[in-house]
Chain A
Amino acid sequence: MPPCSAQCGKNAILKRPKTGDTLCKECFFEAFENEIHFTITRAKLFKPGSKVAIAASGGKDSTVLAYVMKLLNEKYDYKLDLVLLSIDEGITGYRDDSLDTVKQNRDDYGMPLKIMSYKDLYGWTMDEIVAEIGRKNNCTFCGVFRRQALDRGAALLNVDYLATGHNADDIAETVLMNILRGDLARLSRCTSIITDSGDGIPRVKPLKYTYEKEIVMYAYFRKLVYFSTECVFAPNAYRGHARVLLKDLEKIDPAVIMNIIQSGESLKINENANMPTLQKCTRCGYVSSQDVCKACE
């Protein structure tokens, strides 16, 4: 490997997909953490003294997010009160195992953990729902349930922010997907680093500019414990096209990921284009794009 770009005298162990610089392990940790700190302060993600729930699935993104948030909070004295919030969809062989990982994070990082389960909230686990309705639209239900469960959990914990582990690849993929779907409303808001889900608790994405590859490398070199199994139910077929495309693009030129986010941020919607508006479900009052949300249906 070539020498470290930071001229620390060591040899590099990785080439950063985001910039092409080569870094040794120590300098990579520094750069990785500094960048997230830069994102948090430059985009003014949190007010000092607030309470932040980290949406924790046990996967690599949320594990790294929890670890780095704790580290930066102490190092730069953000004065944040951090808690973990997990959703138990009730999927045997997937969520039960990943929740063990989250519990491990809770103990390792000394953060309180709140688990919201579909069973408690809706009276059904995903396993039961799939047994009832089959595999066809199960991901739709699960998605709607999870969104609401996170909102309810955040409200219950009385937090000021909900931080999610969305990374740069996720954002770029969503931009592509919304173009392929012709979904202007979502296209215009999917690159926002802070979004308001409608109930006053803003959702923030501190890893918005962090490459998935670097998250994996960071977790690996820091020896963080995470859960890497995909959901046992149908993987999201719809995102599939955008995901495959993005992976192919990244192989050609990894800078494409940041380019797509840049494009998404600078797109301007024509003023006379018709845009659908978000409304509230007439039954449960949570945000929905239709009169009655999919959960109530």
Chain B
Amino acid sequence: MCSIGDDNFEELDNLKYMPAKEKPSPFSKCNKCKEEIPIVVLRSKDKYCRKCFLAGATHKFKATLGKHKLIRPNDRVLVIHKCGHPSTALLHFIRSGLDLETHKKLRFEPVVLFIEEFTHLTVTDRSEILKAIEKEVACFNFQVYLTSLAKLITTNSVETELHANFDRLEMDEDDKNVITKFVDQQLNETNKNDFLNITRQKLIVKIAKHLNCKFIFTPEISNDVASQLLTDISLGRGSTVSLNAGFCDSRDETVKILRPLRLFDLKELAFYNHLNSLEPVTYRKRDENPYKSVQQLMKKFVNELQVNYPATVTTILKTGDKLSLGTKPTNKCDFCNAPLEEEGPELTSAESTQFSHWVSTQTPAERRLAPERAFNNPTCDNYCFGCRKFRK
């Protein structure tokens, strides 16, 4: 049936919710100072001159950190480097914040971490990238630790795998197989990615603890967070969306993961780097088929919708900001460490799926003997809905 009008849905609301793209006029002045000639257009409508653009970007970075008042002076912060414009801009934001002489000066102690996993490239190429990253971080005068995912998952202690120089990190053509074998081959592509993402997250928290850091900065930008939110929804992780898509992931008691770039888009940071004469380290991206996993599909979906509806990403982020963890749950998931949802009396999608599987495997004789009453919703051990697929 036509679904228009269900749930008081009014088509005209759409204009309010999803404005289409506007065309900025090329003859106007900077939106902010109303004097200078604009050099950059953001969100397909806002025009800024060089000075106002740079001031705005810096302000946004500091306001994002300042608003939450989490970091205290002299706290150590582990900054995750992932190559590309966001990482380079993040380092520059931090360096210029620390170097300020005003009361707005940043007062924490950053340490940079790079986890190597470019297993689609040759060992020589990978080595070149590491060298470039080491050099870049040194330019900003930060301490850097280099490590590799393949090594981290094969050893139990992180201490021995953190290196300050690129030539100390051993890389192998076999690293790719090491990572592949680490993940259950029965899982589909989406769930393999999900497993590796959670594993990475747990590893950086472990490293942060080892390096005595209370906070982690990740270089995720708005598009990353928006597609992560939609991915989480599609993997049944709706109750913990605010951890993966909010500013702060507080699932660990001692180490908080923060996303200081979550309100920036790529164009903004690329211009920021360009205007500051910064060249990020680049590498050849992995060829990925967007129709093979939910994570890749969501990235493609968000980026494409954003082109014609520039409000897409901000709308998704705002939706995420209005979601919470609800009441403070007592138990945590054994795998991802997110709070476990308490099961209520209502029928849920999970229970319905369990019933469907149960009823599909009952023999005709069993069906006659015991109708649906024999079904007991199996109570799950300490795994959240999203992680149950990893249970052996």
Contact = CB atoms under 8 A, between A and B. Distances in A.
Contacts of B3: 166, 170, 174, 236, 239
A258 B349 CA distance: 6
Contacts of B235: 256, 259, 263
11 contacts: A6-B360, A6-B367, A7-B363, A41-B372, A57-B2, A236-B2, A248-B301, A252-B292, A263-B239, A270-B323, A294-B10
B10 A181 contact: no
Interface of B: 1-14, 17-18, 188-190, 229-230, 232-239, 241, 291-294, 297, 301, 305, 312, 315-316, 318-319, 321-326, 341, 346-353, 355-357, 359-364, 367, 371-372, 375, 385-386
Interface of A is mostly: helix
Given A166-B3, A180-B305, 18 more contacts: A6-B367, A16-B360, A21-B360, A30-B359, A144-B10, A170-B3, A174-B6, A179-B233, A181-B18, A182-B315, A187-B319, A251-B291, A252-B293, A262-B349, A262-B350, A262-B385, A265-B349, A271-B324
B124 to A, nearest CB: 35
B11 A35 contact: no
A27 B356 CA distance: 12
B325 A268 contact: yes
Given A16-B356, A27-B360, A55-B1, A261 B349 contact: yes
A179 to B, nearest CB: 5
B17 to A, nearest CB: 4
A239 B3 CA distance: 9
Given A16-B360, A43-B347, A143 B190 contact: no
B356 A252 contact: no
Nearest to A270: B324
Nearest to A144: B5
A278 interface: yes
A147 B11 contact: no
Given A31-B356, A37-B372, A241-B305, A179 B316 contact: yes
B59 to A, nearest CB: 24
Contact of B297 (A62, A252, A262): A252
Contact of B5 (A5, A147, A260, A278): A147
Most chain B CB inside 10 Å of its own CB: which residue of A182, A190, A195, A269: A182
A144 B11 CA distance: 10
B234 A259 contact: yes
A94 to B, nearest CB: 9
A57 B4 CA distance: 13
A226 to B, nearest CB: 11
Contacts of A174: 3, 6-7
Contact of B347 (A6, A42, A142, A255): A42
A143 B5 contact: yes
Nearest to A175: B233
Interface of A: 5-8, 16, 18-19, 21, 23, 26-27, 30-31, 34-35, 37-39, 41-43, 55, 57, 59, 61-62, 137, 139-140, 142-147, 164-166, 170, 174-176, 179-184, 186-187, 189-190, 193, 195, 209, 231, 236, 238-239, 241, 245, 248-249, 251-253, 255-256, 258-271, 273, 278, 287-290, 294
A143 B5 CA distance: 4
A6 B319 contact: no
Contacts of B188: 252-253
B352 A39 contact: yes
Contact of B324 (A166, A183, A248, A269): A269
Contacts of A239: 3-4
A179 B347 contact: no
Given A19-B356, A39-B352, A143-B10, A179 B229 contact: yes
Nearest to A10: B364
Given A59-B1, A193-B347, A263-B238, A21 B357 contact: yes
Nearest to A60: B1
Contacts of A209: 349, 352-353, 356
